[in-house]
Structure 1
């Protein structure tokens, strides 16, 4: 009888685990409160909207709502893969992102390593401010600057080319130059801002490693190659994995502002396609299927690249 009463009043394993978790939370409550705005952001703007994914499997009607719209299964996905524009959209999206991955991603690493070598603090801060500034300009301003500088009629670049005898170039209406133009824009706008994380990682390197390298006779270049790069390698790998996960996201605003009829064959990407059919034509279910396809591909790429990183001995994202 006593044993039964003791068993009924003693806490169960689940209760003990819950108590330990709650005790750990209260012990670090300041840190959890600090992270609360970020947690709420992801819950409200990332997880709750995932309920709308079911639109991709319906013939959604705003009048019938999510629960009453007819279920059609994979009809919209079949339409997407059978559409004659699908491979064009995939080609353009992948090409722009691969160019950014190859030419844009390494530049913040190189810039941060170069800035780390600058000993004059005032000059270093001035350079940082100059290369950070374009990040705070909107794509509308960036596109306006490009139109003013690169237009064939009144653009200053074409006027200079004409003055030196090269002749004018159709920068804005030449399909062969469009992908490169977007890549150069991204580099100019975001390369400086991308150095923030790498500079923070470099600042955390133990100075004794550089002292040991100097004692071994290593030059500044050797120190950068054998000390700095290995020390920030984990940060590079993590950012590369996250970048690969966004390989299907070009960025709607930049492409939309730079696109025109002459380059539409190489400029139309999934983001602009979703805007044109989803927002302007009201094909909500079909464009939700397009967005879900992009998200699934991004998730698969993150998982595969993370496993590949772990296979080579890196920490990865998770």
Structure 2
């Protein structure tokens, strides 16, 4: 399904697709809760808007949570489950720094207590909360419509987490996206989520000091940026130090196309980000996004596409009343 986005350029791009889509995406559809929980999206947005006004860093946190949940084992909120007996997905190495769980809990509590108990899945809450935070972080320029109807999974095991790493090649990264029926463009656009958020210094120490055991910095990184980042990430820096993924200080907290302009100028932070701008598979897509004016429309579409990965039905899933625990004994954690 093509998304509907509240910008003129987006409407032009997707008008034809919208006329053919019938507003459905597999088992998902727009307006899934129109009868069972009218006004659910307005309720979610009200909670999210208040939380964002208190803490704007929630936007990159939730984009990451959404990606990590959907990409690894499908969009089933399995990342949210807790266990006292075995490591769940949130205990896997790549997920240890994932956050945003409290906001999901707050939205779920509001729906369960004051709106429509037992109706809205945690998986759909993740999708809606992420959409609203992207919208707010873009300055209300990208409110894409995302279909709902997901069910919550009953399995969460750290051993099943499968996510791309920042040191992977473009081709190997794309193989992982392709396996999930996401296109090369989806991959480049979704990595554009790095237009906001931070990375820990530990992720780039090799690029700054000892790239591929050469004892020198990564030659693909702008030398001026190397010097700037060495000041922020000295060799003896603590693990907690962070740097912006988008090095344009004027837009490092905004969802926009600045990320692509930065990587074209050799100012990418993560190795995979920088590779996007030089690899033959992706460099033209990066150029188009950097020079065009449709990144927000494309990002909304890619987020909808991501939201369709591994969706389960009511026969294999459930609607949890608490996002951190299954409803019954048939939960594998």
With the length of structure 1 as denominator, give the TM-score of the two structures: 0.25
The higher relative CO (CA closer than 8 Å, separation ≥ 6) is in 2
Select the structure of larger CA radius of gyration.
Answer: 1
TM-score, normalization: structure 2? 0.24
Higher helix share: 1
